[in-house]
Amino acid sequence: MLKIIEFTAERKNNESILLMWTLSPYAQNSIFKIFRALNDADDFIEIMRGKASSYLDTDTKALESPQVQYKITCGNVESLVLKPYNVGDPYLLGLASDYLWQLKNVKNGTRCFAYCKAEAEQDCSECYDSVSKKRTKSTCSLCDGSGKITGYKGPVEMYVNFMKTIEIVDSTGDIEKKETAIQCWSANIPTLSRGDIIGRNNDKRYIISRIPEYVRMNSRSNDEQFVVMQKFILQELARPNMVFDLEDVE
């Protein structure tokens, strides 16, 4: 049965609440509707519809309302109702806003989009038989050979500072391979993980091949740590690759 899962809403800085979700089983090109209520007594009002499985809410009324809540629908499937998770205190939210402002205005931030790897997967239509739950071919042009197609949440607009090209050593195979990569940093929208995809200029696709280095700070509003910025390494992906089918931010 189709379900909306991995639904999160988090206040990321002073200007935005980031929502993300995905479908289980994962399916691309579904149409989602996003609904928002400003408080417990309010009706849910549709604020957006489209194929993206992410939404950045920058509405002032929403940001100022302590009871703001969201739900997502896909056809007649409905998510649970979610209030934003507020980890950062006002100082940390301000810091995150400042990093993003710097990237947009003074630090050569390049507008990109991110697709975050979902836990939900889809059976590969080329090499996997969903009934017998077995792979039917030893090589596959569609997936990485696992029989599963990775799901992604997004796209999320982000600004990336491409710092410099470096050489990294890939030691996953028998022979150590030297590969080029790009050292980057960004603010916290979205907080990236290994396996996430970054798109740039409509034609380039990169993968976060290593765990990013987060700058996290203790929040005064709770015991948790809040990510204000992150440094990461990007490796460019070559076609053909499924990730080139992921659509850009409009």
Residues that bind Zn ion (CB under 5 A): 124, 126-127, 140, 142-143
Closer residue to Zn ion in complex, CB, 142/182: 142
State the minimum distance, in angstroms, from the CB of residue 133 to Zn ion: 14
Q: What are phi and psi of 152, to 5 degrees?
A: -130, 150
State the minimum distance, in angstroms, from the CB of residue 142 to Zn ion: 5
Q: Are 17 and 11 in contact (CB under 8 A)?
A: yes
State the minimum distance, in angstroms, from the CB of residue 28 to Zn ion: 15
Q: Are 142 and 116 in contact (CB under 8 A)?
A: no
Question: Rounded distance, CA 39 to CA 35, Å?
Answer: 12
Tokens (6 digits) for 24: 């289980």
Closer residue to Zn ion in complex, CB, 133/164: 133
- Which residues touch 41 (CB under 8 Å, ≥6 apart)? none
Closer residue to Zn ion in complex, CB, 57/121: 121
State the minimum distance, in angstroms, from the CB of residue 136 to Zn ion: 9
State the minimum distance, in angstroms, from the CB of residue 177 to Zn ion: 24
Following CA atoms 91, 186, 229, 105 in sequence, which dihedral angle do they give, to the nearest 10 degrees? -30
Closer residue to Zn ion in complex, CB, 126/247: 126
State the minimum distance, in angstroms, from the CB of residue 225 to Zn ion: 38
- List, in sequence order, every beta strand (DSSP E) within the chain: 3-13, 16-24, 32-37, 45-50, 54-57, 69-74, 77-78, 110-123, 128-129, 134-135, 148-170, 177-186, 197-200, 204-208, 213-218, 225-236
Question: Rounded distance, CA 217 to CA 75, Å?
Answer: 40
Closer residue to Zn ion in complex, CB, 16/122: 122
Closer residue to Zn ion in complex, CB, 217/246: 246
Burial of 239 (0-12, 13-18, 19+ CB in 10 A): exposed
State the minimum distance, in angstroms, from the CB of residue 134 to Zn ion: 12
Closer residue to Zn ion in complex, CB, 208/242: 242
